[in-house]
Structure 1
Amino acid sequence: MMKCSSVGVKGAAAAWISTAVLISACIALTVYLTVNRDSPPELAPKPIFSTAGNVLDYLLNLKRIDQKDGLLVSWHHAANKKSEMEQALKSDVMVLEADVTTEGYNTRNETDKPIMAHPPDIYSDNSLQEWLEAVLSSNKAIKLDFKTIKAVGPSLDILAKKSSQVAIDRPVWLNADILKGPNVPINTAVNASLFLSVIQEKFPNCTLSVGWTTLYFPFFSNKTYTQKMVEEMHSLVGKLRQRITFPIRAVMARPAWPHLSWLLTQSNRYSLTLWQGKTDPVTVEDLLFIRENSHPEQIFYDIYDPVLSQFKERALNSTRKF
C-alpha cells in the first residue's frame, strides 16, 4: 500500500510540473506575440490615409514634398481619355484632375453613367469606374471636376461602393462651380444646394472644391470677385465640416485680394486654388503679391509654365519667414 501511494504522489507531482510548464510557455508566447505584434515589417498593415485628409500631409507622408507649402503641389488637367490618364499616371505629378459628366449629356441618348469628359465632349472611352480602378493603382491624389449636377449622385455612389471594397487611401477633392461669378451674363453654375447636400449624404469624407463661374476677356475691362460673392459662398459652406478650397481665376486674384483674404480668415479649413485659363495673362509679380500676403499652406497654384516655373524659382528662393 505504501509503495502504491508513493507512485501516486510522484505521478501527481509530475502532472503538476507539466501543467506549470505549459502555463509558463503560454505566458511566454503571449508576451512574445505582444512585444512583436508589429513584426515582421513586411506583414505590418499599410497606413491608411483619409479621403478627407489634408493633401499636404498626404504628400509629406509620401516624401513627395518636404514642407507644407501649396506651391510644391503639382497638377495634371483633364486626365480623361484612357490615353491622357495613362500619360498622367506615368508622370511625376501629384494630383490627377479629371472631368466627370454623364454619357450622352443633354441628348436623348443620355444615361446616368458617369464618364470622363469635358463638354462639349459627351462620350468617352473611359468611365469613372475604370478611371478609379487605374488611378488607385498609383499614389496620386484625386480631384474630380463635375460639369453637371446629374453626374454627382451616380459618381458618389461609385466612390462610396469602391471605398467599401478597398481603402481609397488618399485625398479626394470634389469640385464644381456652384455660384455665378465675374463677367458671366448667364448663370451656368452647378446647383449649389444640390451639390453640397448630395455630398453630405453620399460621400462626406472629402475636400470640397467650390468656386464661381467666370469669364475673362483680354484687352477689355474685366470685373473681379466682390465682397458680396465671397460672403455668399461663405454663407453656403461656412458650417460644413469638410476642408474647403476655393478655385480662383488667378488673373483676377490680386485686384480681389481684400475680399479673398477676408474669406481666408473666416475658417482654418479654407484655402485657395489659383488656376489659369490657357490665354490668361497671369504675371509672376501678381503671384508673388498673393504669396507675400498669405501663408504657404493656404494657397495652391494650378498655373501653366513658364510662369509657374519662374514664380516658383523666385518664391522658393525668397528669404521671407512665415
Structure 2
Amino acid sequence: NRPRRFYPGGDIIDYFRPMNRDGLNIQWDTVTNKDYLLYLLEVFFADSQGGMLVIPVISSVGQPNIPVIHGSQPELPLQDCLELILASKKSWGIYLRIKSKSQLSLTLELLRQAYDRDLLHHPTWVNMDIAHGAFYIQDYVTGAEFLRTIDQIFPYVTLAPGWPKEVLDEGYKPELVEDMVQLFQGAWQDVSLQLHAETLYRTVTGCRSLLHAQSRFSMTLEHRAEDRGLNSWTASLMAIRALNRQQSFYNMLNMYREHIC
C-alpha cells in the first residue's frame, strides 16, 4: 500500500510507517561489501518492511574520483551499490556517511543522476561531521560548505550533520548544541542531528532542547558494535525517546534497540 513515489528529503516515519509511528521500530544496518548488501536486500529483511542502510563512503584506491564503500573488498563502487538498492522492490532508506568535500560532491552528483532518471524515491540522508562556531576544528568541512555544496548539486535530502569527535570529551555541551541549531535553523530541508549514545549520557538534559528547536529537527542516536555496552546509557536513551517517538531514531543493531523499549 506504499505510495509509488516518495520525496527523497521526506520523513522516514511516513515512508516506513513503523508500528505506532515510533522511530525505534525502524531497522538500521551498515553496508560493508557487495555480498553483505545482497544479504540485506534479499535475506535479512525478507520478512520486514526494509530499513535504513548506512553507506560509508570513501575514495577508491588510486582513483580518487570514484566513491566506493569503505572496507569493501573488492571495492564496491557507490554507483553500483545505489543501483542495487534502487532496483530492489523493498523499501529502503539511504544514509550516506561521508568524510570529505570531494566525496560529498561526487556522491551528490550520483544522487542527482538517479533522481533525474526518476529512480530515487527513497528517503536519502547525507551525513558528515562538520566544523562551525564552538565546534570549529581545522580540516573538517565547514557547516557553510556542507550546506552550500548540497544546495548547489542535489538539495532534495535530509541533512544529517554530526559534531567532530574532538569536541565531545565533555559531551554535548550547550554551546555545541546552540551553534549547531543556529547553523541549520535557516535550512529548508529536514535536519536530523547525529549523536553518539556513549557521549549522550553525559549531557542528556542539553540535548532535549534539540527536539524543541524546530519541528523539522530530529535526532539520530548511534551506537556502534565496537563501543561499550549500552547499560550505562539506556536511561538517557529512554528519556530522549519519551520526548517524541516520531523525532528520535536509533542507528544501532536490534540487540541494542531492544534495551530501549
Q: If the TM-score is normalised by the length of the shorter chain, which range does it land in? A: 0.7 to 0.9
CA distance in structure 1 between the partners assigned to 2:67 and 2:255 by the alignment: 34
1:124 deviates by: 5.0
Q: Any idea what SS the aligned residue of 2:236 has?
A: helix
1:247 deviates by: 0.8
Answer yes or no: is 1:262 the counterpart of 2:214: no
CA distance in structure 1 between the partners assigned to 2:131 and 2:74 by the alignment: 27
Give TM-score, length-normalised by structure 2: 0.86
Question: How high is the sequence identity, in percent, across the aligned residues?
Answer: 24
Superposed, 1:128-167 pairs within 5 Å as 128-138=78-88, 139-167=91-119
Which is further off, 301-310 or 129-138? 301-310
Supply the RMSD in Å over aligned alpha carbons.
Answer: 2.6
Answer yes or no: is 1:306 the counterpart of 2:258: no
1:242-280 CA distance string (max 9 Å, x none): 110011011222332222122221100001111113223
CA distance in structure 2 between the partners assigned to 1:216 and 1:73 by the alignment: 29
Answer yes or no: is 1:249 the counterpart of 2:201: no
The higher relative CO (CA closer than 8 Å, separation ≥ 6) is in 2
Maintained 8 Å contact 2:170/2:202: no
Maintained 8 Å contact 1:181/1:225: no
Give TM-score, length-normalised by structure 1: 0.70
1:292-319 CA distance string (max 9 Å, x none): 3x110121112345332232xxx2xxxx
Q: Any idea what SS the aligned residue of 2:9 has?
A: coil
1:194 deviates by: 1.7
Maintained 8 Å contact 2:24/2:249: yes
Distance 1:47 1:307, change over 3 A: closer
1:111 deviates by: 2.4
Superposed, 1:59-208 pairs within 5 Å as 59-60=16-17, 65-77=18-30, 79-90=31-42, 91-92=44-45, 93-104=50-61, 109-117=62-70, 124-138=74-88, 139-179=91-131, 187=138, 189-208=140-159
Answer yes or no: is 1:230 the counterpart of 2:143: no
Equivalent pairs counted in the alignment come to 249
Letter in 1 for 2:65: D
Q: Any idea what SS the aligned residue of 2:156 has?
A: coil
Distance 1:75 1:307, change over 3 A: closer
Instruction: Structure 1 unaligned segments of length 5 or more: list them.
Output: 1-45, 316-322
Q: In structure 1, which of residues 285, 295, 303 is the aligned counterpart of residue 244 of structure 2?
A: 295
The structure where strand makes up a greater share of residues is 2
1:186 deviates by: 6.5
